[in-house]
Protein backbone atom coordinates (compact mmCIF):
# COMPACT_ATOMS: atom_id res chain seq x y z
CA UNK A 1 0.00 0.00 0.00
CA UNK A 2 1.60 3.25 -1.20
CA UNK A 3 1.23 6.73 0.28
CA UNK A 4 0.84 9.51 -2.30
CA UNK A 5 3.12 12.53 -1.95
CA UNK A 6 2.50 15.91 -3.61
CA UNK A 7 5.30 18.45 -4.15
CA UNK A 8 4.27 22.10 -3.89
CA UNK A 9 7.22 24.25 -4.95
CA UNK A 10 8.37 27.26 -6.96
CA UNK A 11 10.01 26.43 -10.28
CA UNK A 12 13.05 28.44 -9.22
CA UNK A 13 13.66 25.62 -6.71
CA UNK A 14 13.31 22.79 -9.21
CA UNK A 15 16.90 21.59 -8.81
CA UNK A 16 16.41 21.28 -5.04
CA UNK A 17 13.07 19.53 -5.57
CA UNK A 18 14.81 17.05 -7.89
CA UNK A 19 17.49 16.44 -5.28
CA UNK A 20 14.85 15.70 -2.66
CA UNK A 21 13.07 13.37 -5.08
CA UNK A 22 16.33 11.44 -5.50
CA UNK A 23 16.58 11.00 -1.73
CA UNK A 24 13.03 9.63 -1.70
CA UNK A 25 13.81 7.10 -4.45
CA UNK A 26 14.30 4.22 -2.02
CA UNK A 27 10.80 4.78 -0.64
CA UNK A 28 9.39 4.63 -4.17
CA UNK A 29 11.37 1.47 -4.99
CA UNK A 30 10.06 -0.17 -1.81
CA UNK A 31 6.52 0.74 -2.77
CA UNK A 32 6.05 2.95 0.29
CA UNK A 33 5.25 6.17 -1.59
CA UNK A 34 4.15 7.46 -4.97
CA UNK A 35 5.41 10.98 -5.64
CA UNK A 36 3.86 13.55 -7.99
CA UNK A 37 4.78 17.04 -9.16
CA UNK A 38 3.71 19.29 -12.02
CA UNK A 39 6.44 18.31 -14.50
CA UNK A 40 4.62 14.97 -14.85
CA UNK A 41 1.68 16.66 -16.56
CA UNK A 42 1.31 15.34 -20.11
CA UNK A 43 1.08 17.60 -23.17
CA UNK A 44 -2.43 18.70 -24.21
CA UNK A 45 -3.87 18.19 -20.70
CA UNK A 46 -5.25 21.03 -18.57
CA UNK A 47 -2.46 21.65 -16.09
CA UNK A 48 -4.59 23.32 -13.41
CA UNK A 49 -7.04 20.41 -13.31
CA UNK A 50 -4.16 17.94 -13.06
CA UNK A 51 -2.62 19.84 -10.16
CA UNK A 52 -5.95 20.15 -8.36
CA UNK A 53 -6.70 16.45 -8.80
CA UNK A 54 -3.40 15.38 -7.24
CA UNK A 55 -3.56 18.06 -4.56
CA UNK A 56 -7.00 16.81 -3.52
CA UNK A 57 -5.97 13.14 -3.34
CA UNK A 58 -2.45 13.29 -1.87
CA UNK A 59 -1.85 11.74 1.55
CA UNK A 60 1.22 13.89 2.24
CA UNK A 61 1.70 17.41 0.86
CA UNK A 62 5.23 18.80 0.92
CA UNK A 63 5.54 22.61 0.91
CA UNK A 64 9.05 23.47 -0.30
CA UNK A 65 9.59 26.86 1.30
CA UNK A 66 11.78 29.61 -0.13
CA UNK A 67 11.42 33.30 -0.95
CA UNK A 68 10.28 32.37 -4.45
CA UNK A 69 7.66 30.00 -3.04
CA UNK A 70 6.29 32.74 -0.78
CA UNK A 71 6.26 35.18 -3.71
CA UNK A 72 4.33 32.81 -5.99
CA UNK A 73 0.64 33.72 -6.12
CA UNK A 74 -0.26 30.23 -7.34
CA UNK A 75 1.71 28.44 -4.61
CA UNK A 76 0.26 30.70 -1.92
CA UNK A 77 -3.32 31.27 -3.05
CA UNK A 78 -4.05 27.81 -4.42
CA UNK A 79 -1.68 25.15 -3.10
CA UNK A 80 -0.94 26.42 0.41
CA UNK A 81 -4.55 27.39 1.00
CA UNK A 82 -5.98 24.06 -0.11
CA UNK A 83 -3.24 22.05 1.60
CA UNK A 84 -3.99 23.68 4.95
CA UNK A 85 -7.74 23.14 4.55
CA UNK A 86 -7.15 19.43 3.94
CA UNK A 87 -4.69 19.25 6.84
CA UNK A 88 -7.13 20.85 9.28
CA UNK A 89 -9.83 18.41 8.08
CA UNK A 90 -7.39 15.51 8.74
CA UNK A 91 -7.62 14.51 5.09
CA UNK A 92 -3.88 14.95 4.46
CA UNK A 93 -0.64 15.67 6.31
CA UNK A 94 1.24 18.85 5.40
CA UNK A 95 5.00 19.10 5.96
CA UNK A 96 6.79 22.44 5.45
CA UNK A 97 10.31 21.86 4.15
CA UNK A 98 12.58 24.87 4.46
CA UNK A 99 14.78 24.94 1.37
CA UNK A 100 16.32 28.41 1.52
CA UNK A 101 16.50 31.15 4.18
CA UNK A 102 13.44 33.39 4.17
CA UNK A 103 11.02 34.96 6.63
CA UNK A 104 8.13 32.48 6.76
CA UNK A 105 7.06 33.28 10.32
CA UNK A 106 3.32 33.93 10.55
CA UNK A 107 2.49 31.79 7.52
CA UNK A 108 -0.46 29.37 7.88
CA UNK A 109 1.95 26.44 7.90
CA UNK A 110 4.15 28.07 10.53
CA UNK A 111 2.41 26.18 13.34
CA UNK A 112 3.37 22.82 11.85
CA UNK A 113 6.52 20.86 12.58
CA UNK A 114 8.67 20.99 9.48
CA UNK A 115 11.89 19.59 8.11
CA UNK A 116 14.86 19.37 8.15
CA UNK A 117 15.88 19.23 11.81
CA UNK A 118 15.24 22.47 13.71
CA UNK A 119 13.70 23.92 10.52
CA UNK A 120 17.20 24.84 9.39
CA UNK A 121 17.18 25.74 5.67
CA UNK A 122 18.65 23.04 3.45
CA UNK A 123 21.06 25.37 1.69
CA UNK A 124 22.67 26.42 4.99
CA UNK A 125 23.80 22.90 5.85
CA UNK A 126 27.48 22.11 5.27
CA UNK A 127 26.36 19.09 3.27
CA UNK A 128 22.92 19.38 1.65
CA UNK A 129 22.78 15.60 1.24
CA UNK A 130 22.74 15.38 5.03
CA UNK A 131 19.81 17.80 5.07
CA UNK A 132 17.89 15.84 2.45
CA UNK A 133 18.64 12.57 4.25
CA UNK A 134 17.13 14.02 7.41
CA UNK A 135 14.06 15.10 5.42
CA UNK A 136 13.71 11.70 3.73
CA UNK A 137 13.84 9.91 7.08
CA UNK A 138 11.09 12.14 8.44
CA UNK A 139 8.89 11.48 5.42
CA UNK A 140 9.57 7.75 5.73
CA UNK A 141 8.41 7.73 9.36
CA UNK A 142 5.21 9.56 8.53
CA UNK A 143 4.48 7.40 5.46
CA UNK A 144 4.98 4.20 7.46
CA UNK A 145 2.71 5.50 10.20
CA UNK A 146 -0.04 6.35 7.70
CA UNK A 147 0.22 2.86 6.21
CA UNK A 148 -0.20 1.35 9.68
CA UNK A 149 -3.26 3.50 10.24
CA UNK A 150 -4.74 2.20 6.97
CA UNK A 151 -4.13 -1.46 7.73
CA UNK A 152 -6.94 -3.24 9.63
CA UNK A 153 -6.05 -4.31 13.17
CA UNK A 154 -5.74 -8.02 13.70
CA UNK A 155 -8.31 -7.95 16.53
CA UNK A 156 -10.98 -6.25 14.44
CA UNK A 157 -14.14 -8.24 13.81
CA UNK A 158 -14.80 -9.05 10.14
CA UNK A 159 -17.42 -6.88 8.51
CA UNK A 160 -20.76 -8.55 7.87
CA UNK A 161 -21.88 -8.96 4.29
CA UNK A 162 -24.74 -6.57 4.94
CA UNK A 163 -22.48 -3.71 6.09
CA UNK A 164 -22.91 -0.48 4.21
CA UNK A 165 -19.81 -0.15 2.00
CA UNK A 166 -19.95 3.62 1.75
CA UNK A 167 -20.12 4.04 5.53
CA UNK A 168 -17.23 1.64 5.98
CA UNK A 169 -15.06 3.47 3.43
CA UNK A 170 -15.80 6.80 5.09
CA UNK A 171 -14.87 5.44 8.51
CA UNK A 172 -11.61 4.01 7.25
CA UNK A 173 -10.69 7.31 5.61
CA UNK A 174 -11.42 9.25 8.79
CA UNK A 175 -9.38 6.78 10.86
CA UNK A 176 -6.46 7.01 8.43
CA UNK A 177 -5.93 10.71 8.98
CA UNK A 178 -6.89 11.10 12.62
CA UNK A 179 -3.37 12.31 13.38
CA UNK A 180 -2.87 15.44 15.43
CA UNK A 181 -0.36 18.20 14.69
CA UNK A 182 1.63 17.20 17.78
CA UNK A 183 1.82 13.61 16.53
CA UNK A 184 3.11 14.75 13.16
CA UNK A 185 5.66 16.89 14.98
CA UNK A 186 6.96 13.80 16.80
CA UNK A 187 7.10 11.73 13.63
CA UNK A 188 8.95 14.19 11.42
CA UNK A 189 10.91 15.97 14.12
CA UNK A 190 12.08 13.75 16.92
CA UNK A 191 12.21 10.36 15.23
CA UNK A 192 10.10 8.73 17.93
CA UNK A 193 6.65 7.47 17.06
CA UNK A 194 3.64 8.33 19.17
CA UNK A 195 0.21 8.36 17.62
CA UNK A 196 -3.44 8.63 18.47
CA UNK A 197 -5.97 6.05 17.37
CA UNK A 198 -9.49 7.15 16.53
CA UNK A 199 -12.11 5.62 18.85
CA UNK A 200 -13.86 2.59 17.40
CA UNK A 201 -17.61 2.15 17.76
CA UNK A 202 -18.38 -1.14 19.42
CA UNK A 203 -20.91 -3.47 17.82
CA UNK A 204 -24.39 -3.31 19.36
Would you state the pLDDT for residue 168? 44
Q: What is the mean pLDDT of residues 171-185?
A: 50
Report residue 196's pLDDT band, with 50, 70 and 90 as the boundaries.
Answer: very low
Query: pLDDT tens across 87-143, in order?
Result: 999 999 999 999 999 999 999 999 999 999 999 999 999 999 999 999 999 999 999
What are the extents of the domains in the chain?
3-151+162-190
Would you state the pLDDT for residue 183? 54
Scored b (16 or more CB within 10 A) or e, 118-148 reads: eeebbeeeeebeebbebbbbbbbbbbbbbbe
Asked if CATH classification 3.40.50.10140 holds for the domain at 3-151+162-190, the reply, yes or no, is yes
Residues ≥6 apart with Cβ < 8 Å to 152? none
Residues across the chain: 204
Query: pLDDT tens across 59-92, in order?
Result: 999 999 999 999 999 999 999 999 999 999 999 9
Distance CA 107, CA 47 (A): 26
Amino acid sequence: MSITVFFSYAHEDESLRDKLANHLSILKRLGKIEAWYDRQILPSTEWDKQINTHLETANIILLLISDDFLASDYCWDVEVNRAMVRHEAKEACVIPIILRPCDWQGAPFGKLQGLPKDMRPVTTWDNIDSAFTDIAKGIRRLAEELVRKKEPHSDQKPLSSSANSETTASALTQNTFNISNSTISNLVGSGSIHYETAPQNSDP
